[in-house]
Structure formats: structure tokens, C-alpha cells
Amino acid sequence: MQRRQWWATLALTAIATVTTAAYASTAQGNYPNAPITMIVPFAAGSGTDAVARAVGQKLGERLQQPVIVDNRAGANAQIAAGLVAKAKPDGYTLFMTTNTSHSANPWLVKSLKYDPIKDFTPIARVGELPFALAVHPSVPADSVQALIDYAKANPGKLSYATPNSTSLVASETLRFLSKTDIVGVPYKSSPQALTDLMGNQVQMYVVDLGSGWSMLKTDRVRTLAVTAAKGSKILPNVPPIGKTLPGFDITSWNGIFAPAGTPPEVVNKINGALQAVLADEAVQKQLEQIGFEVWPTKTPQEFAQYVSEQLAYWGRLVKQADIPAQ
């Protein structure tokens, strides 16, 4: 009797396993059959938010399901990253993020509650969000060298806004390489930092072109340089900081991840759709209008390698500028 029960239990277990596997395979084959949530770690109005909404709309059209942008700002992208790391790996939760969560936080945060490599599945790099060094018009400087000279003549007088890790690391690297005494002021969001720059509450801000593009074209701020050594296609007449401070080369990459364990079939389908979206000239022009430069990886494996390289590079930047982990 016991032997019959054992065989019956074993048979039921086998049937359940096969049924579950078949269901999972069918679900993956039909992916997506429900709306997709794209979590963004920054507030509405930020550069990453603008990119997510533009790309998400077109991605949804390609996948024939709506892509809903969900802003989970706070703690320098830690809240959003932690949420995605714990999400079900089924392709219905995506993470559009930047070097803040995956390159800088591991070096800037003492007790990070997620692993940027182990907790995520890389899908594709979308591109770069260039950053520019802007100052309030009252600062008597029209170049990086003039700014450095003024800062050295007036130690502690200038302050800079740091609403994200790119602004923080770029500003601290500028301070370190120029050997100046400039005070950092933390902010929760880019829009507020930009508002205070225009109001002269802070005098300097390394701002992303996504949120600052419209203001950078006015006389309410003065743009001195861009942070990438190669310059910027969007600001071709603005010199790189590296022209004055050799070795200075900082930019913000943007990419899409899924939780670790997301099936390869789903990852490849999303990547394929993204490749088509980012190859569309209309999309490229739309993103250019918000200061974003499209620069996609071709495969998830290529993006994974890039993420690892950037993690090491940002570690060197943080250590060089002697930025303490908080």
C-alpha cells in the first residue's frame, strides 16, 4: 500500500513539474502578454526620465504592450535598484538606470543592499547623457581655467550642486585635479539643483543635458565645458574639461536591465526590439532634442562587459578624488 502511494506521489510530482515547465515555456514564447513596468531611479523631469518615456513608448509599440514608466526616486537610485533586484524575473519589470546605481554607488555607499552585477540581467546600453559644467552668470569666469583661478583666489566662496553621483564625482574630480577649495551641496533632484543654480544659491553645477538642455541655451547660466574628453556632438563648440585638466573624462551612460534570472529568450526579445527602436532616426532626433546621444550595445553580453568595465573605472575615479563612502 505504501509503495502504491509512493509511486502515485512521484507520478503527480512529475506531472506537475512537466506542466509547470510547459506553462513557463509557453509564457516565455508569448512574451509579452501584459503591460511592462520600466522603473526609473530618478524623479520626473530628470534626464533619465525623459529618455525612459521616449524609448518606453516606442519599445511598447514594438512589443505590442504598453511600457509604463514608474519613477522611484530617492537615496541616489538605491530605492529603485533594490526594488528591481527583488522583482520577479519574468520580463515585466525593467530598470532604466545609469552609472549612478551600477558604477558609482558600489564605491560611494558603505552598506549597499544590492549587487550591481549579481542582482541584475543586462539587456542593452541605450546611450550617453552628456554632462556640462555650468556656472551662475555672476561668477567672473568664461573658461575652466578662469574658474579655477577665481576659486583659488576665493577659497570656500564657491559651492556646487550634487544631485546625483555623476555630478558628485565630476565636481570632486575637478576640485581634486585643480587643487581648489569648493564646497559641495547635496540635492535630491536635478531640477531643484538647476533652479538653485539659476537663483545663485549655488554657483556651479555639473548638469546633465537631459534636464538642463533648455536652460543651458539661455543667459540664465553660463556653460563652460563638457565632462567627456571626446566632447559632445550636441555642444560642439563647448570644450571638454580635459583640455584644461588632462585626464578628466567623465560621462553618464544609460542602459536597461532586468532582474537576475530573467530567461534568455525574454532578454533577447527585448534587446531585439530595443535595437530597432534605437536605430530609428526619428527616435534619435527626439532624444537629441533632450540632450541624449544614442550609443547602443548590440548584445546583452557586450553590455554586461561594459558594465563591469565601468564599475572598475568609477572605482578608480572615486579613489583618485578621495571621496569617502557614506
The set of cell numbers assigned to 132 is 556640462
Q: Is residue 152 part of a domain?
A: yes
Give dist(CA 104, CA 113) in Å, integer: 14
Domain shared by 237 and 212, yes or no:
yes
pLDDT digits (tens, 9 = 90+) for 6-50: 444 444 444 444 434 434 443 457 999 999 999 999 888 888 999
Domain count, the chain: 2
Q: Is residue 64 part of a domain?
A: yes
Whether omega for the bond prior to residue 32 falls within 30 degrees of 0, making it cis, is yes
Amino acid at 140: P
Residue 281: band (very low, low, confident or very high) from pLDDT cuts 50, 70, 90: very high
Final residue belonging to a domain, choices 203, 222, 243: 243
Domain shared by 142 and 284, yes or no:
no
Domain shared by 136 and 119, yes or no:
no
Final residue belonging to a domain, choices 243, 273, 290: 243
Domain shared by 146 and 198, yes or no:
yes
Range of the domain at 214: 131-243
Host H or E run for residue 263: none
CATH number, domain at 218?
3.40.190.10
pLDDT digits (tens, 9 = 90+) for 67-80: 999 999 888 899 99
Q: Is residue 300 part of a domain?
A: yes
Percent of the chain having pLDDT more than 90? 76
Domain shared by 153 and 209, yes or no:
yes
Mean pLDDT of the chain: 90
Please determine, for residue 205, whether its predicted confidence score (pLDDT) is greater than 70. Answer: yes
Q: Nearest Cα to 294, choosing from 309, 313, 275, 311?
A: 275
Q: Is residue 18 part of a domain?
A: no
Domain shared by 135 and 124, yes or no:
no
Over residues 263-281, the mean pLDDT reads 98
Domain shared by 222 and 264, yes or no:
no
Q: Which stretch of 59-68, 165-174, 181-190 has the lowest confidence by average pLDDT?
A: 181-190
Residue 210: band (very low, low, confident or very high) from pLDDT cuts 50, 70, 90: confident
Domain shared by 70 and 87, yes or no:
yes
Q: Is residue 91 part of a domain?
A: yes
pLDDT of residue 190: 82
Give the C-alpha distances (Å, rounded to integers) separating 131 from 34, 114, 168, 309.
36, 26, 12, 20
Residue 14 CB contacts under 8 Å (≥ 6 apart), including other chains: none
Q: Is residue 326 part of a domain?
A: no
Domain shared by 154 and 215, yes or no:
yes
pLDDT digits (tens, 9 = 90+) for 174-200: 999 999 999 999 987 888 999 999 999
CATH number, domain at 287?
3.40.190.150
pTM of the model: 0.83
Q: Is residue 239 part of a domain?
A: yes
pLDDT of residue 188: 79
Final residue belonging to a domain, choices 243, 273, 301: 243
Over residues 92-111, the mean pLDDT reads 96
Greater model confidence, 94 or 73: 94
Domain shared by 148 and 123, yes or no:
no
Residue 216: band (very low, low, confident or very high) from pLDDT cuts 50, 70, 90: confident
Residue 253 CB contacts under 8 Å (≥ 6 apart), including other chains: 98, 99, 103, 125, 127, 128, 129, 306, 310
Domain shared by 197 and 239, yes or no:
yes
Domain shared by 200 and 167, yes or no:
yes
Q: Is residue 16 part of a domain?
A: no
Q: Which stretch of 15-19, 241-245, 294-298 has the lowest confidence by average pLDDT?
A: 15-19
